[in-house]
Amino acid sequence: MTLVIDPKVFYFGTPVVLVSSINEDGSPNLAPMSSAWWLGRSCMLGLDATSKTTENLERGSDCVLNLADSEMVDAVDRLALMTGSRVLPEHKAQKGFEFEPDKFGRAGLTPLASDLVSAPRVAQCRVQLEARVTAIQPFGAPHADARAVEVEIIRTHVDPDLVVPGTVDHIDPVQWDPLIMKFTEFFGSAVNLRPSTLARGFGMMHGAVLSPTDSSASRR
Ligand SMILES: Cc1cc2nc3c(=O)[nH]c(=O)nc-3n(C[C@H](O)[C@H](O)[C@H](O)COP(=O)(O)O)c2cc1C
C-alpha cells in the first residue's frame, strides 16, 4: 500500500558540496549545496536563480566543488542561512538569511589557491574539484526559479588517504564518508551495505577493502 502525498521537498539524500566562486570584486564566495550529480567528467548543479553563486557563475566565474565529509557538518551548518548577495531576495529574507561577504571566515574554513581556476579550494575538504562552467539552463518551472549549471571537472585533488593503495585513480568508497543532506537533515556513515554488482562491472579496485565475504568491511 502507498499514500499519495505532496512532499514539501524531494531531497532524498545527496552529498553536500561547498561551491566556491568569485564575486565581481574578486573576493571569493562559498555556498553549501546538495543538488549535485556527476557523470563522466561533468557535474550538474541545481542552484537557486537568486543565489550569489548562480550570479557569479552566470557572469563567467569558474568554481571549485569542495566535497564535505561528515566531520565538516558544523562548518557547513554555520553557512546554512547566509548569502553572498548584498540585497536579499524576498524568500531568503523571510527565512532569516543574512548577507555575509566572508563565508570562509564565518564557517572557520581555509581558502587554498587552486591550480587551474580562480576560485579557491577549501583546505579542510578531502575532495576538491576544480571546474569551469560549460552550460547553464533554466530549471524547475513552474515551481522553482532555478538553474541547471553544467560544469566540467578539470582538476581533482584528494586526500592521499582516500586513494585505494596501489592505485592512482581510484577513490576508496569506505574511507570516503560524504556528508549527506537528506530532507534538509545531515547524515554521514561509512557503513558499506553489501558488495556492489555495478562496481564489479566497472572493474573497480575495491576488492581488498570490500570482500564479498565481509560486506561490512571498514578500515576505520
Ligand atoms: C546542506 C545544504 C544544502 C543546500 N543545497 C542547495 C542546493 O542544492 N541548491 C541551492 O540552490 N541551494 C542550496 N542550499 C542553500 C544555499 O546554500 C543558499 O541559497 C545560500 O544562500 C547560497 O549562498 P550564495 O547566495 O552566497 O550563493 C543548501 C544549503 C545547505 C545548508
pLDDT, tens digit, 9 for 90 and up, residues 44-88: 999 999 999 999 999 999 999 999 999 999 999 999 999 999 999
Query: 10 Å Cβ neighbour count for 24?
Result: 10
Q: From the CA of 215, how far away is ligand 1's center (Å)?
A: 35
Q: From the CA of 33, how far away is ligand 1's center (Å)?
A: 4
Taking Cα atoms as reference points, which of 40, 18, 14 lies closest to residue 29? 18
Distance CA 68, CA 77 (A): 11
pLDDT in tens, 80-105: 999 999 999 999 999 999 999 999 99
pLDDT of residue 101: 98
Distance CA 79, CA 75 (A): 7
Distance CA 10, CA 197 (A): 27
pLDDT of residue 220: 36
Ligand 1 environment, Cβ below 6 A: 16, 29, 31-35, 46-48, 51-53, 76, 80, 82-85, 97, 181
Average pLDDT for residues 200-209, to the nearest whole number? Answer: 72
pLDDT band at 10 (very low <50, low <70, confident <90, very high): very high
Distance CA 206, CA 210 (A): 6
Q: From the CA of 108, how far away is ligand 1's center (Å)?
A: 18
Q: Which of 48, 73, 92, 103 to mutate to test the pocket of ligand 1 (most atoms within 8 A of CB)?
A: 48
User: Which residues have a Cβ under 8 Å from the Cβ of 192 and sit 6 or more positions away?
Assistant: 173, 174, 210, 215, 216, 217, 218
Distance CA 74, CA 124 (A): 12
**128, containing H or E segment:** strand 127-139
pTM: 0.93
Q: Which atom of ligand 1 is nearest to the CA of 55?
A: 27
Residue located nearest, by CA, to atom 4 of ligand 1: 33
User: Which residues have a Cβ under 8 Å from the Cβ of 34 and sit 6 or more positions away?
Assistant: 11, 14, 15, 16, 17, 180, 181
Q: Which of 18, 29, 51 to mutate to test the pocket of ligand 1 (most atoms within 8 A of CB)?
A: 51
Q: From the CA of 31, how far away is ligand 1's center (Å)?
A: 6
**Cell for 40?**
563522466
Average pLDDT for residues 92-119, to the nearest whole number? Answer: 97
Q: Which atom of ligand 1 is nearest to the CA of 181?
A: 1
**22, containing H or E segment:** strand 17-22
Distance CA 130, CA 153 (A): 6
Q: Which atom of ligand 1 is nearest to the CA of 16?
A: 1
- In the chain, the domains with their CATH numbers are 14-192 (2.30.110.10)
Q: From the CA of 211, how far away is ligand 1's center (Å)?
A: 38
Q: CA of 53: how far to CAs of 88, 112, 172, in Å?
A: 13, 18, 30
